[in-house]
Amino acid sequence: MTASRRPPRGRRGGSISAPASGPGDPVRPCPDDSGQCAQLRPSAHDGWPVSRQFFLTVLALWYSRAAFGRCYSGATCHTAGENTLKRSNRLVLLIGALLAVVAFVGIVLLLGQPSGGGGGSQPTPPTTVHVVKAKVAIPAGTIVTQDMLDATGELPIGAAQNAFQDPGLVISKTIRKDAQPGTILTFDYFIDTGQTSNVTDGLPLGLRAMAIQVDQVTGVGTLIHTGDKVDLVIGLKIQTTVFDPADKTKTKILKVGDPAPSVKMIIQNLRVLGTLLPPPTAQAQQQQQQPGASPSPGVQQQPATTLNGQQEIVVVAVTANQAEAIRYAQLYTDPMALVLRSPKDYVAVDASGSPIVSASPVVPPFEQTDGMVLRILVDKYGVLPPNLLVGSSK
């Protein structure tokens, strides 16, 4: 019979001794005098993060798993003649400890990352924005095309409030003020509020500015704006007269019939320098002050026109002779009418019909018109004159 050996007395202490380094080393005794091993528990400190507690728990479980064969939860410790941990068990213990360290570091890194609203480094917001500039000189009244624009300009965000940032917003629009190359295009270049305060800046050399009053019938619905081109039409009644055949001195004139109307376009290609409209009504002002009424805060919107019978003052550039003709018509003829011309008439085009961007605006040739009296209406347009009804004699 093999005599049982008495387990060696262990030292008093609070920690478990490390496992033996070799298979032939003696078994380490249990730490207490009772010969029984104390149950291993992970040390939990108040206030530690969950990640650290998790790491210590994993490490303790790995250690207790390796030591399970010799001492666990009050079981009798190994005798002195038994082997301690095998090399494979020590390798597993080492790998487990390394994995626990890696897991702990990973958890710390994950928990240490800032949340979506945290104080991490934020990208620097842009301080400038791209704005649309005029690449070439664009006269007032010109329809803007893509080739006339340069979208590479930059402005500080605070200064670009009223500037266009998308070229598509101005393409095919009629510009209302002259724009030089490099001019940043803002909203006020494309609206005419009818509140002109200065026309001399756009007055060409050698021409005069003259005001013409029109209404919604004679002024294209009061839709004439700065930069437009107009023609002037007048209408008057002419009295037919003859000398009195009984007067030998040929000084007496007799009126024949009633005054006959006559209409004629007397001036063409007048440039509009500015317009004046009546002040907007309280309802119109309220609509313009509503949110979203203007493209940008502080920018006036193009006023809408309704059928309200309003009048408009149109200031045009004229020569001296044209000023005299207009003034005569204002005094002695029926109300004059302004005819709005297409801005495309003033765009230079190549042989294929495409606009030439760098070319100066062209002036259409003066168009000869027939004038209009009753005879032309009858002969050219087929208007039927009334037939005289003559009573038949019996």
Please tell me the predicted confidence (pLDDT) of residue 339: 97
pLDDT at 82 over 50: no
Structural domains in the chain?
7-111 (no CATH), 128-189 (3.90.1210.10), 208-280+308-362 (no CATH)
- What confidence tens digit (pLDDT) does each residue in 95-111 have? 888 888 888 777 877 77
Rounded CA gap, 336 and 218, in Å? 7
Amino acid letter, 288: Q
Taking residues 32-58, report their average pLDDT.
Answer: 51
| Chain mean pLDDT for the chain | 76
Cα-Cα-Cα-Cα dihedral of 309, 310, 311, 312, to 10°?
Answer: -130
Q: Residues 6 or more apart from 224 whose CB is under 8 A from it?
A: 214, 230, 272, 275, 312, 314, 338, 340
Instruction: Please report the pLDDT score of residue 268 as a whole number.
Output: 97
Cβ-contact 210, 316 below 8 angstroms: yes
Query: Please, what's the b/e burial string for 354-382 (b: 16 or more CB within 10 A of its CB; e: otherwise)?
Result: eeeeeeebeeeeeeeeeebeeeeeeeeee
Distance CA 368, CA 370 (A): 7
For residues 75 and 171, what is the distance between their CA atoms, to the nearest angstrom? Answer: 90
What is the total residue count of the chain? 394
pLDDT at 3: 46
Cβ pair 327, 211 in contact under 8 A: no
Using CB atoms within 10 A of its CB, is residue 259 exposed (0-12), middle (13-18) or buried (19+)? exposed
What confidence tens digit (pLDDT) does each residue in 318-331 have? 999 999 999 999 99
Dihedral over alpha carbons 61, 66, 67, 73 (to 10 degrees): 40
Which pLDDT band holds residue 94 (cuts at 50, 70, 90)? confident
Q: Higher confidence at residue 372 or residue 252?
A: 372
Checking DSSP bridges between strand 128-134 and strand 253-276, what pairing results, if any?
unpaired
Question: What is the pLDDT confidence band of residue 197, given thresholds at 50, 70 and 90?
Answer: confident
**How distant is the alpha carbon of residue 380 from its chain centre?**
53
For the segment 9-31, the average pLDDT, to the nearest whole number, is 46
pLDDT attached to residue 228: 94
Say how far apart CA 244 and CA 254 lie, in whole Å.
6
Determine which of 11-15, 138-142, 202-206, 228-232 has the lowest per-residue pLDDT on average: 11-15
**Residue 84 and residue 66: Cα distance in Å, rounded?**
10
Q: State pLDDT tens for residues 324-366.
A: 999 999 999 999 999 999 988 888 888 887 778 777 778 889 9
The rounded distance, in Å, linking the Cα atoms of 333 and 316 is 19
Look at residue 386 in the predicted model and tell me its pLDDT.
Answer: 80
